[in-house]
Amino acid sequence: MSFSALSHAAQLELLEDLTRTTLSEHYGLDGQAVQLQVQQYEDNAVWRVTPPGGAPFVARLSVRDGRPAHQQRSEMRWLESLATSRTVAVPGPVTTTDGRYVVPVDVPGHDVPSTLALLHWVPGTAEPPYQEPGMAEQMGIATAQLHHNSATVEIADFDRPVWDAETILLKGHALNDPAAHQQMGTEGTAALREVTERITPALQEGGESDRGRIHGDLHRENMILMPGGGSVGVIDFDDCGTGHYLLDIATVLGSIHRIAHKTPGAYETFAHAYLTGYTSVRPLPADFERLLEPYLLLRDGFVLNFVTTAVLANEAVATTWGPGRIAGIVANMQAYLDGHAYPGTMHD
């Protein structure tokens, strides 16, 4: 039976068995003795791996359109640089017993190349409580430390996706796949196309100092409140690449706006404090106030690409939050085209 024909639960069971075997054969761990706790299964199957009496790890098995091994190695080199700098907590990579960052895994009945990477577990609490005093500033500091490393530390042969208007919008799944058009509807597809035409010139602005290595998916759930509450770490660099630093900033702000906008003033308070934290480390990109809105839209184009793909491949996404997320973004884009400010845009 092909892998795709298996139920979600059966796929996960098979992948867990393969992960245990890989841990035994390549990482010197007893794969049958470790405890595996599923963290997510969308494009990647991710487990918390706890050896008996040992510190935990994260095992990430990429099975759906995963980054090729050479791109994952670039990701691991950046994580190693960040972990070594000790300026922001990140999941540092764990190499195999023969020094590799990434291991190929043969998944029976699956014709997509699959790979496993092992990383150190970042302790703490996912999704920092953004309203607590000082938390927004710490989230801004963590974002800025990623960008400071990007701007000051060279990583040779860094080969990752370029997250720009061309990649996300013009060549993105949502604009180019008929299955995505069906999910968004005729009017939704037309709205995305018009948004793309309207914001692409702004997204092409900026110089070298405004661009570099970015996280690529820096929403609130990929930030970790560290033990003791004094700082914020960052996880899940699977979508890291190169692009304008504003895309990371817009991703944080947009993800907080989604949960804060119903409380008057909560989002504005967070956003100003977050930016204060960011600018305590490095300046904001040029023309921040004017360019934030196009990057909030670009971020939602990125989300549309992910969700319209995931709905087709992942039953859990298709039957829970996926369709609603698509509909919400489409409605926001249509409102923007009608003259309304895009959610997350800041006003003094």
Q: Is residue 246 part of a domain?
A: yes
- What digits encode the pLDDT tens for the residues 245-264? 999 999 999 999 999 999 99
**What token pair was written down for 313?**
């491949």
Q: Is residue 30 part of a domain?
A: yes
Has residue 211 got a pLDDT over 60? yes
Q: Indicate the helix (H) or strand (E) that contains 123.
A: none
Of 73, 96, 121, which residue is a domain's last?
121
Q: Is residue 151 part of a domain?
A: yes
Q: For the whole model, what pTM was predicted?
A: 0.94
Helices 178-203/322-337 angle, 10° precision: 40
3-state secondary structure of 59: strand
Look at residue 330 in the predicted model and tell me its pLDDT. 98
Same domain, residue pair 292 and 320: yes
Chain centroid to CA 129: 19
pLDDT mean over 35-48: 92
Look at residue 12 in the predicted model and tell me its pLDDT. 95
Look at residue 317 in the predicted model and tell me its pLDDT. 83
* 96: containing domain: 3-121
Of 96, 121, 146, which residue is a domain's last?
121
Angstrom distance (rounded) from CA 31 to CA 54: 13
Where residue 222 falls among pLDDT bands split at 50, 70, 90?
A: very high
Helices 266-279/245-260 angle, 10° precision: 150
Q: Is residue 258 part of a domain?
A: yes
Q: What's the chain's average pLDDT?
A: 95
Q: How many domains does the chain have?
A: 2
- What digits encode the pLDDT tens for the residues 283-326? 999 999 999 999 999 999 999 999 999 888 777 788 889 999 99
Say if CB 99 and CB 88 are below 8 A apart. Answer: no
Has residue 209 got a pLDDT over 90? yes
Question: For 221, which DSSP code?
Answer: G
Helices 245-260/288-313 angle, 10° precision: 70
Of 68, 100, 121, which residue is a domain's last?
121
Look at residue 312 in the predicted model and tell me its pLDDT. 84
Same domain, residue pair 136 and 156: yes
Same domain, residue pair 13 and 55: yes
Look at residue 65 in the predicted model and tell me its pLDDT. 67
Q: What is the CATH number of the domain that holds 74?
A: 3.30.200.20
Q: Is residue 182 part of a domain?
A: yes
Q: What is the CATH number of the domain that holds 180?
A: 3.90.1200.10
Question: Which stretch of 63-67, 206-210, 270-274 has the lowest confidence by average pLDDT?
Answer: 63-67
Where residue 230 falls among pLDDT bands split at 50, 70, 90?
A: confident
Q: Is residue 273 part of a domain?
A: yes
Say if CB 84 and CB 93 are below 8 A apart. Answer: no
Same domain, residue pair 156 and 247: yes
Look at residue 229 in the predicted model and tell me its pLDDT. 81
- Please report, rounded to a whole number, the percentage of residues in the chain having pLDDT higher than 70: 99
pLDDT mean over 232-244: 97
- What digits encode the pLDDT tens for the residues 299-309? 999 999 999 99
Angstrom distance (rounded) from CA 85 to CA 96: 22
Same domain, residue pair 89 and 220: no
Look at residue 4 in the predicted model and tell me its pLDDT. 87
Has residue 66 got a pLDDT over 90? no
Where residue 15 falls among pLDDT bands split at 50, 70, 90?
A: very high
